[in-house]
Chains A and B, each alone.
Chain A
């Protein structure tokens, strides 16, 4: 541990010189009952809901139940050395977590204490764990894509920055794998990622962290872990803590963030445990009445914040803040620049002024909550709740998983309610028919398996379907570039792969991508810069694919 001697001496001096004047007035109560992570405290009459209280041992508690003659607290840490009659002090503040750059690359517990053995976290920034969701005027519609690097998702179930997309499925269907791939794919996009592990085995979390480190994803990722052995209160606040750490970057630095809550089923179970111990009345499946609010207030914190604009002097460059506006006005969202320009025209010295975006505005928080179902039961309480809160769901099927279709995304029932707004134009164009082709294929697949004689049109559709399914398979930890995805999906939907033997589809795809990236750099660059598939580019691409295919088929 590094100790700054000068600072130590300074602190000591200060302590000694201020020593005598301190008479501390505190509000205190006494523990009347303690156990199972819950303490009931007599006194503390002025205690606020959600306030932190400090126990004799230095452990903190979270005041959750304010009753007539006692306060019910969740204990955030070890409670085995607390006893009846112990003194409890109010702290007067709500639960906060450290945040900022210092946390990036670290593994912390839900109150921000390091778990990775990399030493203390040095930051003076903090953010409240429970923070209200931004209101309507602070938001703007989701329109920028957040690429997950998974073909099946980016093509058909696109996720936008600021969206909440649920990943739902039975155990062992690859839910976490999708989230981890999405994090890995954020490399060099400037998106800050937070992975919140709730109630998981420590070994699983360690494996995830190792994988993130190997792929270089820890350089922009924070891992918040409340393991299966941690007390229920910590598991309950973990997602909020993760959201708070991301919110700091969204609000204060205008950055795009991605938070994975893995998983909310276990958080709900932890909250149920807590609520029952606090003697709140149980409802359906013994969950308390506010279990919907538990998740809705968490997921509502995801947002695409509106950009803010101010009128500043033309010479002004660098960081621009809300206070820099020459007329003290701030203009919000999409209409902002237009409105500001109008106002600018009315100002006397308009030649020296310009409209500029406030540097820290326009951040976003994308949420990928994960829900585990039992035997595909989506009509259970927690899954239905979270499905109704989120902007769509990625549904994972064990049957598909076992049939080797991985990621096991069931595209038939997976949706993204933000949809095409969060796709680049090229992808929107090529993926349009993909969903339809697959839906047709699913209908016909049953017939095909019966061995019935099919007419040529149907047979073609079935063949196309098999190739699309093959194409959408993707190995784990191998996220794919968007433009590569566009090229491969284009080739498949335009029928270039229809006569490629199914086992060779993936070889064809990777070969084609290499070809386009190297030999047809002009096509790749055209797509990459405009993000659009114009007719000219399409023609060039057609030619490139035809030529590649000729060689590929000849090289059997």
Chain B
């Protein structure tokens, strides 16, 4: 059955799937795919960056983000784009554990937080 449904794939892929089926590890396919993607990206020097913006990116912006992030991370950049109107403006980039946040939402939140601290006159945080 695997041979039939995956006949367009290479022999190695088909054999791999057969091995998995034989050892009854088909439930782990998802994890294998994720791990493979990560491994492939590493080998090919590709980094995934999550981009969130208030409205969809146009081609020019997409190119600029890719270029800037590429220089920063010294890698080819693959973008995962998300549209989140909550951000109001600006953009949020996430790569691994690091987040670059220039969204209007965050700036307003920060401003509110400072005002709250000032109005409560609690300045001991640092």
Contact = CB atoms under 8 A, between A and B. Distances in A.
Interface of A: 1-4, 7-8, 11-12, 15, 19, 22-29, 43-46, 87, 89, 93, 96, 98, 112, 120-126
Interface in B48-103: 94, 96-102
B118 A22 contact: no
B110 A43 contact: no
A254 B94 CA distance: 48
5 contacts: A1-B119, A11-B114, A15-B111, A22-B102, A123-B123
10 closest A-B pairs by CB:
A98-B124, A120-B120, A126-B124, A28-B99, A23-B102, A15-B111, A24-B101, A43-B97, A122-B121, A26-B99
Given A11-B115, A15-B114, A43-B96, A26 B122 contact: no
Interface of B: 94, 96-102, 106-107, 110-111, 114-115, 118-126
Contacts of B110: 22, 24
Given A45-B97, A121-B124, 16 more contacts: A4-B121, A8-B115, A19-B107, A22-B102, A23-B101, A23-B102, A24-B110, A26-B101, A27-B98, A28-B94, A46-B97, A98-B124, A120-B121, A123-B123, A124-B124, A126-B124
Contacts of A26: 98-99, 101
B122 A8 contact: no
Nearest to A28: B99
A25 B100 contact: yes
B118 A121 contact: no
Given A11-B115, A22-B102, A24-B106, A120 B122 contact: yes
A24 B102 contact: yes
Contacts of B124: 96, 98, 112, 121, 123-126
B98 A124 contact: no
A98 B124 CA distance: 6
A485 B15 CA distance: 93
Contact of A28 (B97, B115, B121): B97
A43 B97 CA distance: 6
Contacts of A126: 124-126
A8 B118 contact: yes
A195 to B, nearest CB: 21
Given A11-B115, A11-B118, A19-B107, A124 B123 contact: yes
Contact of B98 (A3, A28, A121): A28
Contacts of B118: 7-8, 11
Nearest to B91: A23
A45 B96 CA distance: 9
A163 to B, nearest CB: 30
B114 to A, nearest CB: 6
B122 A121 contact: yes
B114 A44 contact: no
A25 B115 CA distance: 21
Nearest to B112: A15
B107 to A, nearest CB: 6
A46 to B, nearest CB: 7
Contacts of B98: 25-28
Contacts of B120: 1, 120
A126 to B, nearest CB: 4
B118 to A, nearest CB: 5
A346 B119 CA distance: 57
Contacts of B114: 11, 15
